[in-house]
Amino acid sequence: MTRSQIVSIAEKIIEMFYHDFDEKDPFKILISTILSQRTRDENTLVASQNLFSKYPNVESLAKAKPEEIYDLIKPSGMYRQKAERIIEVSKIILEKYNGKVPSDLDELLKLPGVGRKTANIVLFQGFSIPAIAVDTHVHRISNRLGFVKTKTPEQTEEELSKVLPKRLWGPINVAMVNFGRNICLPRNPRCEKCPFSKECKYHNSAVD
């Protein structure tokens, strides 16, 4: 698949499956993304709303004790571990960064519980900085379509950054997540409903 074909398909995926986010506060985006680890979106939403209704900013959350937020974030699962983590992150941001979430990838990666996916989500959604957040959906779909041929999300991020223009880096995550949840499923993908089946490496190899 040529670079122009990859860009064209990526643009169509974004056009069909991307949606913007109402939340623009980098701190709330960071904490919500940590809460989202290993849980469903609807659980993250409930936990985030519960948490921010009582602790709306970094100052208040940094002063909280883990046991005080257990019940608030319990819907997200692994609530004891996540409570410890988000309070620790809040304290670091307050003390080291004067209450402001850093807008630098390397600084974000220094925060406990923050990997490249979380950091890149914060950069794009919180600061409008081009960044490719690669989760299981982006990794799977990029390989299935033939955009990349990689073994790890880190490799996928690196290869996508070479073929996609920066204007697509941020939106491609949200679009592929929605695409992956509705059509390009991990198991039994709905290829008959996919608008890209003719170009898809995975589908064509299965048909052959």
Enumerate the known binding-site residues: 184, 191, 194, 200
Q: Is 135 a catalytic residue?
A: yes
List, as residue ranges, the binding site for [4Fe-4S] cluster.
184, 191, 194, 200
Residue 31 near residue 86, CB atoms below 8 Å: yes
Identified catalytic residue from 91, 106, 117, 198: 117
Reduced 3-state DSSP string for the chain: CCHHHHHHHHHHHHHHHCCCCCCCCHHHHHHHHHHCCCCCHHHHHHHHHHHHHHCCCHHHHHCCCHHHHHHHHHHHCCHHHHHHHHHHHHHHHHHHCCCCCCCCHHHHHCCCCCCHHHHHHHHHHHHCCCCCCCCHHHHHHHHHHCCCCCCCHHHHHHHHHHHCCHHHHHHHHHHHHHHHHHCCCCCCCCHHHCCCCCCCHHHHHHHC
Identified catalytic residue from 135, 149, 193, 198: 135
Q: Is 208 a catalytic residue?
A: no
Residues that are catalytic = 117, 135
